[in-house]
Each structure stands twice: as C-alpha cells, then as structure tokens.
C-alpha cells in the first residue's frame, strides 16, 4: 500500500473525523428517506422506490466531499509537512493521485451501508424485491462518477490554501456551481440562447441521465475528463510549492 494513500486513509479513522463525516451522511439520508416528510420520503411516496435516495445523495455530497478533502493539502501547508512530502521520490502527480484514491475509498465506504436501503425497500415491494435493478445500478454508478469529480474539485480547492475552512467554502462554492448553478443559469430568460451549453456543463443533468440507468459513455467520459483535469490543476498548484 502506498505510504501517502495509507496515511491519508487511516488518519480519518485514527480520530473521530471519518466516523463523524460518514455518520452524518448516513444519518441525513436516513432522516430524509424514512422520517422527514417530503418528496424523498419512501414511506410517504406510497411505492417502493429509491428515487429519493439518488436525488438526495448528490446534495449531501456537496457537503460531505469538501469535508473529506479540505485537509488533504491545506493541513500539509499549515503544518509544513508539504516540504518533506515533495522531497520524496514520488512525483507530485503521484502524490495527488494517492490522496484522490484515499478520498474515493472513504467515499465508497460511506456508500456501502446505503445498500441497506436497497434491501429494506425490496422487502417493502410487492412482490418482494420487485425493484428496477437497472435504475439502482445506474444510480450507484452515477454517484461514483459524480463523487469522483467532486473529490477532484475538493483536492484542487485544498491545494490553494492552508486554511481548511477556506478550502471547504471554496470547494462547496465551485461544486454547487457545477452541480446546480449551470442548470439554474439555463432557466434565466436572457440566457436561453446558451441553454444547451449550460446543460452540457451541468453535473446535475449528466448525473440524472446516469441515474435513470442510461449508462451513456459520453456522460461517464465527461466526469472522467473533469476528474483528470482537476487532478492536473491540483498537480500544477503543488508544483508551484516545489
């Protein structure tokens, strides 16, 4: 296991940080899916469906991912450990990649307990487990793709400051613009001429297509390209510190 990956992964579980972030994500999902009245509530919907979960999760990731990624480089800058890290034989992109993989591993661990919602909803269906498996698989793939892009943006934000709070706010702002901001701009009357362009860049629109079980390679490649681009921007920011 690469030392950078190992350190970044286990540091979250040596303290309460990882448990708190993951726990809050699961708690928020559970509250909105089973207790809080609204469109996401499965019991209020009257039919066994995970639509609410896949609609709600990206909004929760807007908070969860910045919380996971904000310390990745900001804390290195603040404590001065970035200097010995950059003197190691590993290249700056390898360092960025290992931190990205550590964040993704933490994100996937947060997703695993949500499979309980699949089984619970399946038991509620009539007949039992009469669920749209294509929709569920596509929804989880959508969460992985959009989560990957979110993590890369979070790392880039963290690489720009030595303050974790600033990194969180910067990451959240950029992610909100990418996820919902472009969709909102597409609805502005004076900008209707640019609606197709805004929708092409909207993470929300791309995610919705994946979430419907439409595993279009263009949407997958879009999120992969955004991820690689932001990781490269992060690498360039780190290179300035060498």
Burial class (CB in 10 A: 0-12, 13-18, 19+), 102: buried
pTM for the predicted model, two decimal places: 0.90
- Per-residue pLDDT tens digits of the chain, which is 242 residues long: 578 888 888 888 787 778 888 899 999 998 888 888 777 777 776 666 778 888 899 999 999 999 999 999 998 888 888 888 777 766 888 999 999 999 999 999 999 999 998 888 877 766 666 677 778 888 898 899 999 999 999 999 999 999 999 999 999 999 998 898 877 776 665 566 566 666 677 788 888 877 665 666 788 898 999 999 999 999 999 888 76
Per-residue burial over 47-61, b = 16 or more CB atoms within 10 Å of its CB, e = otherwise: ebbbbbbbbbbbbbb
Token pair of 90 as six digits: 């590993």
Look at residue 125 in the predicted model and tell me its pLDDT: 67
Q: How far apart are CA 169 and CA 141, in angstroms?
A: 27
Pairwise CA distance, residues 179 & 153, whole Å: 12
C-alpha distances out from residue 150 to 63, 106, 205, Å = 10, 13, 15
């Amino acid at each position: 296991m690469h030392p950078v990956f190992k350190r970044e992964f286990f540091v979250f579980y040596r303290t309460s940080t990882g448990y708190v972030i993951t726990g809050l994500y699961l708690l928020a999902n559970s509250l909105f899916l089973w207790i809080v009245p609204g469109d996401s509530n499965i019991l209020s919907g009257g039919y066994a469906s995970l639509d609410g979960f896949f609609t709600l999760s990206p909004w929760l990731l807007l908070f969860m991912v910045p919380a996971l990624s904000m310390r990745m480089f900001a804390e290195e800058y603040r404590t001065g450990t970035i200097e010995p890290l950059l003197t190691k034989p590993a290249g700056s992109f390898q360092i960025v990649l290992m931190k990205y993989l550590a964040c993704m591993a933490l994100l996937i661990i947060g997703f695993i307990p949500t499979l309980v919602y699949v089984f619970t909803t399946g038991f509620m269906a009539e007949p039992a487990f009469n669920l749209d498996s294509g929709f569920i698989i596509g929804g989880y793939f959508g969460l992985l793709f959009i989560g990957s892009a979110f993590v890369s943006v979070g790392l880039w934000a963290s690489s720009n400051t030595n303050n974790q709070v600033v990194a969180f706010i910067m990451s959240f702002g950029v992610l909100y613009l990418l996820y919902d901001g472009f969709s909102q701009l597409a609805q502005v009357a004076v900008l209707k001429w640019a609606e197709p362009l805004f929708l092409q860049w909207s993470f929300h629109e791309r995610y919705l297509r994946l979430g419907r079980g439409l595993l279009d390679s263009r949407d997958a490649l879009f999120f992969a390209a955004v991820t690689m681009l932001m990781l490269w921007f992060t690498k360039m920011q780190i290179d300035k510190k060498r």
